[in-house]
Amino acid sequence: MSRLFTKDTQAIFWNNNRSAIQRMLDYDYTIERKLPSIAAIVAPTSAAKFDKFFFGNAEIMIPLYRSTAEAAEAFPGADVLLNFGSFRTAYDVVMEAIELDGQFKTIMVTAEGIPERRARIMNQAARDKGVTVIGPATVGAIAPGAFKIANIGGTIENIINSKLNRCGSCGLVTRSGGLFNEMSNIISLNADGIAEGVAIGGDRFVGSVFIDNLLRMESNPDVKYMILLGEVGGTEEYKVIEAVKSGKIKKPIIAWCIGTIAKHFESGVQFGHAGASANANRETAEAKNIAMAEAGFFVPDSFNDIPATIHKVYEDLLAKGVIKEIEEPSVREISKIRKARNFICTISDDRGEEATYCGIPISKVATPDSGYTLGDVMSILWFKKRYPRWAVDFIETVLKTVADHGPAVSGAHNAKVTARAGKDVVSSLIAGLLTIGPRFGGAIDNAAKYFKYGFDNNLSPKEFLKYMKDQGIPIPGIGHRIKSVRNPDLRISSLKKFVSENFPSSPILQYALEVEKETTSKKDNLILNVDGTIGVLMVDMWRELGYDDAEIGTFIEAGALNAFFILGRCIGFIGHILDEKRLNMPMYRHPWDDILYDVEQLEY
C-alpha cells in the first residue's frame, strides 16, 4: 500500500458528526470526486435509515446503520473507518472493526484520553491484522485531491489557499493536529503543497508512528521529500534515523521537534500533549533535533526557520528535475447559500416538461399501446421498479380479488351508512376505509409475517401450530366462516392455479398449505383463506424478485401488504357509495329492537 488513500477511497463514519461529514463532502465536491467519500454512517442510537447532506448545492442521502458490521456488509468496498466515538467507546469500536476480517485497511481514531492499556491493546491488535490505525487523539489525514478525513485542513477556503485540493510533492507527518494546517500552509507558500499528510495524534500510545507513515511515503511515487514535525518526549524519531541510516528511506527529510523550551524548566510544566514529556535526555526535543541533523536530515536552527529550509529543499529538487511544476487545476465552487429540503421524493418528479414516474414520462405508461398496465404503474410508484409480467399480473389479480366482498362487511356497511347520511363520496369512502385494521382486512400482514417466520425457522407444521398457540393468537389467514375443504373457496383455487402456472416458485405458499393440512384435519373450515393466501404469496413474489429479508421486512412494517387491500377495496366501497347515491335511500337509523338496552341507573 504505497498510497494511504485514492480518489476512490470510501469510508464508514462512526458517529453521525454532521459538520465533519459535511466538510468531507464539500471537499469531495470541490475536487470533483465522483463518489462521496462517506459510504455510510454508523449511528448506534438513531432510528433513522439515512441522513441528508449537501453534495455541492444538491442534497444527497447517506445511509445510517446501527452497527459497524451492518454498514460494512452493505459497503464491502469501504475500507476506511473514521471512528468518532468518545474515549469511552472508541476502543470497542476499533476492536469490533478489526474483527471484520478484510474490511478495513485504515482506522482513524479521534478520541483523546483512551486508557493507555486499551490504546496499546487496540494498536497491537490492528498491527497484527495489518490494519493502519491513525490516532488516537488526531484530526486525521489527507491525500490532497483524493480523500480528506473530517476536519483536517480546516475550511474549504483554507484548503484551497493551502493547495490541499490537489496533489503536491511533500509527505507530511506531524504529531500535533493544530500545527498540521500550519505546516500545510507553510509548505504551500514555500513549495508546491503536500502529496499525503498524516497527524499521528498526541496521546502517548498511537497506532501508526512516524516510521510507519514515512516508510509508506518512501514508496509513494507522488512523494518527493518528507517533513517530520515531532515533539519532545518518546523515541520514535530515532526509528526514522535508523531507517535513513540503513537506507530504507532515501528521500530527503526535513525534520524538527517542537518543545525545545522544555530544557529550560526542570519539571512540573507540561509543554503540549500527553505524549510530550521527556523521561530521559535522548527524549528531549534538542537531543532529537541534533541526532536528526547528524543523520543528514534537513534540520533548521529554530522552528521559525522551517519555511526557509522547506524552500531551499524544494528549489533544489525542482532544479534537479525531481519535482516538476504543477499546473493548478480548476476548483469547483460551492455557493454560500444552501437550503436543506424539508421533504424528500424518490418516486416521481413534476418539475420538467412532463411529470414522470421514476423518470418515465406519464405519456409513456398511460395508454394501452405503451405496454404498461395498472400493475406496472403500481410497481413503479410503490416499489420503484418495473416488475416482470407474472408479478404485475399477480398484483392485479390481488386487486381484483379483494375489490369487494358484499355490502354486509363492516367497511362497506360504514360507507353505505355515511353515504345515506348525505355525505359526499370522499367522506363516505373514508368512513369505510377507517374500519380497515387489525380485525377487518388486517390478516394479510400478519399471515405474511407469521408464515414467513415459520418457514424461515424450519418449523414443522405441528411446531408452527404450537408456536402460534404460545403467542396466544389465532393463526392469521386461517379459517373461513362458510368455506371448507369440501366446499372450497374458488377465489383461492384460481389464485393457486395462477401461481402454479406463473410463479417461478412459491415455497411459503407450499408451507402454508402444509400447515392447512394440519389445521383442517382438526376442523374442516380451518382453511388457508384469501387473506392468508395473498399474504404468503406477496412474500414469495418479493423473494423471487430478489429482495432481501430486511427489505421485505420494511415493506411489511410500512404496511405495503395492507395497502393492496386498501387500494383494492376502494373499488368496492366506491361502488357501494355510488349505489347508495343512485338509490337515494334515506338516512339510516338503527332499529331500537336490535339493540339491547341495559343502562346503569345512577342517583341524581
Residue 260 CB, shortest distance to another protein, in Å, is 5
Residue 318 CB, shortest distance to another protein, in Å, is 21
Residue 205 CB, shortest distance to another protein, in Å, is 7
Residue 231 CB, shortest distance to another protein, in Å, is 8
Query: Alpha-carbon distance 109 to 86, whole Å?
Result: 9
Alpha-helical regions (H) of 472-529: 490-502, 507-520
Between 40 and 152, CB nearer to another protein: 152
- 311 is annotated as an active-site residue: no
- Of the residues 273, 480, 576, 590, only one is catalytic, namely 273
Query: Alpha-carbon distance 248 to 238, whole Å?
Result: 14
Between 187 and 536, CB nearer to another protein: 187
Query: Alpha-carbon distance 36 to 20, whole Å?
Result: 13
Query: Alpha-carbon distance 428 to 434, whole Å?
Result: 10
Buried b (16+ CB within 10 A) or exposed e, 448-481: bbbbbebbeeebebeebbeebeeeeeebbbbbbe
Site for another protein, rule CB under 8 A: 19, 87-88, 113-118, 120-121, 123-125, 128, 139, 151-155, 158, 161-162, 174, 176-179, 181-182, 185-186, 189, 202-205, 231, 235, 258-261, 264-265, 267-276, 285, 301-304, 306-307
Burial of residue 1 (number of CB atoms within 10 Å: 0-12, 13-18, 19+): exposed
Between 128 and 353, CB nearer to another protein: 128
In this structure, are residues 137 and 203 in contact, taking their beta carbons and an 8 Å threshold?
yes
Cα 431–432–437 angle (5° rounding)? 105
First to last CA, the chain: 90
Query: Alpha-carbon distance 356 to 515, whole Å?
Result: 44
Q: Which three cell numbers stand for residue 314?
A: 524544494
In this structure, are residues 72 and 100 in contact, taking their beta carbons and an 8 Å threshold?
yes
Between 311 and 405, CB nearer to another protein: 311
Between 114 and 249, CB nearer to another protein: 114
Residue 99 CB, shortest distance to another protein, in Å, is 14
Between 137 and 527, CB nearer to another protein: 137
Q: Where are the beta strands (DSSP E) in 111-224?
A: 132-134, 140-143, 147-148, 170-174, 194-199
DSSP assigned state of 354: S
Residue 108 CB, shortest distance to another protein, in Å, is 15
Q: Which residues contact 459 (CB under 8 A, 6 or more apart)?
A: 453, 467
Residue 269 CB, shortest distance to another protein, in Å, is 5
Contacts of the segment 410-414: beta carbons below 8 A, 24+ positions apart:
410/435, 410/440, 411/435, 411/436, 411/440, 411/441, 411/569, 411/573, 412/572, 412/573, 412/576
Residues identified as active-site = 273
